[in-house]
């Protein structure tokens, strides 16, 4: 959801390991500035810039999630639909994507773009700060990218996500660990991986897998509904 800074040089694996090890003892103590503090044009430009594809690897992320025709996906913190639009194509023709965000303005942009791209299976949902407003028991995958550090009261929020998932539903979280070179956020504005896992488990999820090598500078975690 927040602006990601692309660095010209990628830190070595050894340096990344050191940074993340140091940061592992941190906890999020401060919420970052809301993305809505920026103009709509600035937000969309940041979300959609082409160089983001090189390190966010959206097509590989979608492939890793093994989506299929008929699946229902909730992209929570969807923004301009960088992932939502790809999900809509991946689950077509019979699947559906709920593009969920508290930002009605950016969802207006996404709704127009989805219509232009004939993505009739993409539905925008203006959510609440503390509730994604998902239909009960209807979703196969709840997905977050660069979003969870903007959510306060995450354990209760994840419980509401779980209520929207089917019995075998999954939750995937991609975000920056403290110390990541991919973000301009201070370390205390970000959530360590161990804290993410702990909060999800408190909410009734089972930690299933970490895709550790796909996205340097991020963690990519998958949980299953218990």
pLDDT band at 21 (very low <50, low <70, confident <90, very high): very low
Label residue 185 exposed, middle or buried (CB < 10 Å: 0-12, 13-18, 19+). buried
Percent of the chain with pLDDT over 70: 85
Beta carbons within 8 Å of 161's beta carbon, 6+ residues apart: 74, 76, 132, 134, 142, 171, 203
19 pLDDT above the threshold of 80: no
pLDDT mean over 174-202: 87
Predicted pLDDT at 120: 97
Q: Which domains does the chain have, with CATH numbers?
A: 56-225 (3.40.50.150)
Predicted pLDDT at 2: 40
Beta carbons within 8 Å of 22's beta carbon, 6+ residues apart: 179
What is the value of pTM for the model shown? 0.85
Predicted pLDDT at 89: 98
Beta carbons within 8 Å of 101's beta carbon, 6+ residues apart: 1, 76, 77, 78, 79, 107, 124, 125, 126, 127
48 pLDDT above the threshold of 90: yes
24 pLDDT above the threshold of 80: no
14 pLDDT above the threshold of 50: no
pLDDT band at 17 (very low <50, low <70, confident <90, very high): very low
pLDDT digits (tens, 9 = 90+) for 110-150: 999 999 999 999 999 999 999 999 999 999 999 999 999 99
pLDDT mean over 44-56: 92
Quote the tokens at residue 147.
Answer: 């979003």
Predicted pLDDT at 179: 81
**Cα torsion angle, 63, 20, 197, 35, sign:** negative
Instruction: Please report, for residues 135, 160, 164, 182, the alpha-carbon distance to residue 100 in angstroms, rounded to integers and kept in the order given.
Output: 12, 13, 13, 24
Predicted pLDDT at 22: 43
Quote the tokens at residue 160.
Answer: 């509401």
Q: Tokens 């993340």 correspond to what residue?
A: 20
pLDDT digits (tens, 9 = 90+) for 63-93: 999 999 999 999 999 999 999 999 999 999 9
3 pLDDT above the threshold of 60: no
């Amino acid at each position: 959801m927040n602006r990601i800074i692309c660095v010209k040089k990628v830190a070595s694996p050894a340096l990344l390991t050191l940074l993340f090890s140091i940061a592992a003892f941190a906890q999020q103590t401060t919420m970052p500035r809301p993305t809505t503090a920026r103009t709509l044009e600035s937000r969309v430009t940041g979300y959609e810039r082409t160089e983001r594809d090189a390190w966010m690897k959206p097509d590989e992320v979608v492939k890793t999630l093994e989506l299929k025709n008929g699946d229902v996906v909730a992209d929570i913190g969807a923004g301009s639909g960088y992932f939502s639009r790809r999900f809509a194509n991946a689950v077509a023709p019979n699947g559906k994507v709920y593009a969920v965000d508290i930002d009605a303005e950016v969802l207006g942009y996404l709704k127009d773009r989805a219509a232009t791209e004939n993505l009739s299976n993409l539905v925008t949902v203006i959510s609440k700060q503390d509730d994604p407003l998902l239909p009960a028991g209807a979703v196969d995958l709840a997905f977050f990218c660069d979003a969870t550090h903007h959510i306060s009261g995450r354990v209760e929020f994840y419980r509401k996500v779980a209520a929207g998932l089917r019995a075998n539903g999954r939750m995937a979280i991609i975000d920056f660990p403290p110390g990541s070179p991919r973000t301009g956020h201070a370390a205390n504005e970000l959530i360590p991986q161990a804290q993410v896992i702990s909060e999800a488990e408190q909410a009734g999820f089972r930690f299933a897998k970490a895709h550790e090598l796909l996205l340097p500078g991020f963690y990519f975690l998958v949980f299953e509904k218990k």
